[in-house]
Structure 1
Amino acid sequence: MDELTPEQARAALDVVERSRRRVIDEIDVPRWYWAGLASGWIVLGVIADVHHPLVTTLATLAFGAAHSSIAPRVVNGRHRSSQMSVRGDIAGPRLAAWVLGSLVALVGVTIAAALILNADDAHHPVTGAAVLAAVILVLGGPLLPAAARRRAVRTGAAS
Structure 2
Amino acid sequence: MIVMNEATGDNARSALEAVDRVQQKVSDDVGLPRWYWWMTAAGWIALGVLGSLAPVWAAVTGTVLFGALNATLAGRLYDGTRGTAGVRLRRSAVSRRLPWLIIAILVAGVLVTVGVALWLDADGAAHAGIIASVAVAAVIGFGGPEILRTLRHWAHA
Fold equivalence (TM over 0.5): yes
For residue 19 of structure 1, report the CA deviation from its aligned partner. 4.1
Give the partner amino acid of 1:67.
N
The two structures, once aligned, show a CA RMSD in angstroms of 2.9
Query: In percent, how many aligned pairs have the same letter?
Result: 33
C-alpha distance in 1 between matches for 2:39 and 2:122: 29
Query: Does 2:101 match 1:98?
Result: yes
Query: Does 2:115 match 1:147?
Result: no
Structure 2, unmatched stretches of 5+, are: none
Aligned equivalent of 1:26: 29
C-alpha distance in 1 between matches for 2:81 and 2:139: 19
Are 2:47 and 2:63, in contact at CA under 8 Å, matched by a contact in 1?
A: yes
Query: Does 2:69 match 1:57?
Result: no
Are 2:101 and 2:152, in contact at CA under 8 Å, matched by a contact in 1?
A: no
Give the partner amino acid of 2:33.
P
Aligned equivalent of 1:154: none
Q: Does the C-alpha gap of structure 1 residues 127 and 11 become closer, same or farther in structure 2, counting only changes over 3 Å?
A: closer
Are 2:47 and 2:62, in contact at CA under 8 Å, matched by a contact in 1?
A: yes
Are 1:41 and 1:134, in contact at CA under 8 Å, matched by a contact in 2?
A: yes
For residue 72 of structure 1, report the CA deviation from its aligned partner. 2.2
4+ runs deviating over 3 angstroms: 2-6, 8-16, 73-77, 148-151
Are 1:74 and 1:80, in contact at CA under 8 Å, matched by a contact in 2?
A: no
Aligned equivalent of 1:112: 115
C-alpha distance in 1 between matches for 2:50 and 2:37: 20
Are 1:34 and 1:141, in contact at CA under 8 Å, matched by a contact in 2?
A: yes
